[in-house]
Amino acid sequence: MPNLLKTTVLATSIALSACSASPTGRNQLLLFSDQDMSSLGAQSFDQMKQQQKVSTDKKVNAYVQCVAKSVTSQVPKQPGFNEWEVVVFDSDQVNAFALPGGKIGVYTGLLKVAKNEDQLATVIGHEIAHVLADHSNERLSQSQLANAGLQITNIALGSSEYAQYRGATMAALGLGLQYGVLLPYGRTQESEADIVGLEIMAKAGFDPTESISLWKNMAAASGGQQPPELLSTHPSHSTRIQDLSAKINTLPNYGAQKPNCSKS
Ligand SMILES: [Zn+2]
């Protein structure tokens, strides 16, 4: 069979078997199982912990854990893990991430831009929403289609064969900055993470209107010498603030008590 035809047949049979709907009802192509994604996430997280400095500052850890726990308490139980693991990295990077398998990383540099618990909850909610919406599975599936035949999960994780795909895998997980392969989330995924993330943080009792201040702070910080790393994988779009305002107006009063996560 000619290559092009082979690819088309493969793509068609994959598309028929792996279609799914995102939390906002969008059709998604997901080629990897929850277990595959969880083990990729957990393995990548282990690497991050080995390669980057973990913060031992008790106050900062308590603050980030408090906000993250409050947010994750609103997320339905996910397949493959019981609790979300939260690690604070000691770095000036203005960055944060969440990985399949229940892993959350927050960089201390982010706390200068996310100035209060509501703004930090905005970022954590947004990152978790990317996980809940299977965005890394989707991104990896798209790159898989582009290189039909490449079966990342058929290769033993950590093997030398896998090493050549690590950059692409990390990029799909949103960790590309650390590995020199950048894959910014697309506009659709960003909007979806904004909407789903806002619902989660509001349910946890945080103030959703602070999401506007967060993204304004992020924009202001991007004028400086070191633009926020978060914006390189989570690009802001011109209607983000408008879209957030519209979403905030439709949120019900969840009646949740505001968590007491003081910064100092
Ligand atoms: Zn994002």
How far, in Å, CA of 170 to CA of 53, rounded? 19
For residue 187, the CA-to-ligand 1 centroid distance in Å is 9
Residue 257 lies in a domain: no
Q: By the 8 A CB rule, do 169 and 181 touch?
A: no
Q: What does the DSSP 8-state code read for residue 101?
A: T
Residue 22 lies in a domain: no
What residues have a C-beta under 5 A from ligand 1, the ion?
185, 190, 193, 234
pLDDT at position 161: 65
Residue 2 lies in a domain: no
Residue 259 lies in a domain: no
At 121, which helix (H) or strand (E)?
Answer: helix 117-132
For residue 1, the CA-to-ligand 1 centroid distance in Å is 40
Q: Which residues does the chain have with pLDDT short of 50?
A: 1-16, 148-149
Residue 106 lies in a domain: yes
Residue 153 lies in a domain: yes
How far, in Å, CA of 56 to CA of 192, rounded? 33
How far, in Å, CA of 248 to CA of 211, rounded? 9
Residue 123 lies in a domain: yes
Q: Could you give the number of structural domains in the chain?
A: 1
How far, in Å, CA of 126 to CA of 72, rounded? 11
Closest CA relative to residue 147, chosen from 2, 3, 253, 1: 3
For residue 189, the CA-to-ligand 1 centroid distance in Å is 7
- Which residues are known to be catalytic? 127
Query: What's the domain range around 155?
Result: 34-250
For residue 141, the CA-to-ligand 1 centroid distance in Å is 18
For residue 29, the CA-to-ligand 1 centroid distance in Å is 19
Residue 179 lies in a domain: yes
At 223, which helix (H) or strand (E)?
Answer: none
Residues 6+ apart with CB under 8 A from 75: 84, 128, 132, 200
Residues 6+ apart with CB under 8 A from 203: 74, 254, 256
